[in-house]
Structure 1
Amino acid sequence: MDDTSSTLTGLPFFWLGDTHWRFAKESWDASNKPGWSSQFRGTVDRRVEQGFNVYQSNILSFGGGWESPEVWVNGATYGKLNVTYFQAVLDPRMAYVADAGLVNALG
């Protein structure tokens, strides 16, 4: 065991977060905000610039939730989860948030 394995134990963590309600729905490669190439990535980058350390993510997006047809295979609500949707849409977003140095709090 190296010297750094327990260096974070017991240290306080000040949770400074913001909730991204449209986490799964905002555009990855377009934006309605001048100067931003991505609505999603621009929002994450802005929160990092503002000093946030937690990114609360509404993974099924505000207004659609578990009733969103893309979440389910063949759109059959509360049937079989569409793993491809989660891999294609949510995984890259989760990775972007983590790579930005933010703790992702799922909601």
Structure 2
Amino acid sequence: MIRYLEDPTAADVAVTVADRWQGRGVATVLIDELLRQRPRGVCRIVTTVSADNQASLALLRRMGSAVVIPDGAGQLDVTVELGSARPREPTESSAPPS
């Protein structure tokens, strides 16, 4: 997660998951942790996603209220409103099994 210098309330976020681990919830766990550890004051994610990357779009939409705008070059500009509160720590009952 990288905070934008020109707007300290916004940040970009990215995760990379090896092919053999995709579809197992790894990206969701990584994003959840990044959101928990985000810099104080960051309440928006602003990023660009390939228009055909449905998995990334779904992940971003699960983060909060998302506005998706096509940029005309096969890319989508995505803004996700996170709110001012950081997500709660997972409880023992909601944590994935070890």
Scaled to the shorter chain, the TM-score interval is 0.3 to 0.5
Q: TM-score, normalised by structure 2?
A: 0.36
Q: TM-score, normalised by structure 1?
A: 0.34
Structure (1/2) with the larger helix percentage: 1
Structure (1/2) with the larger strand percentage: 2
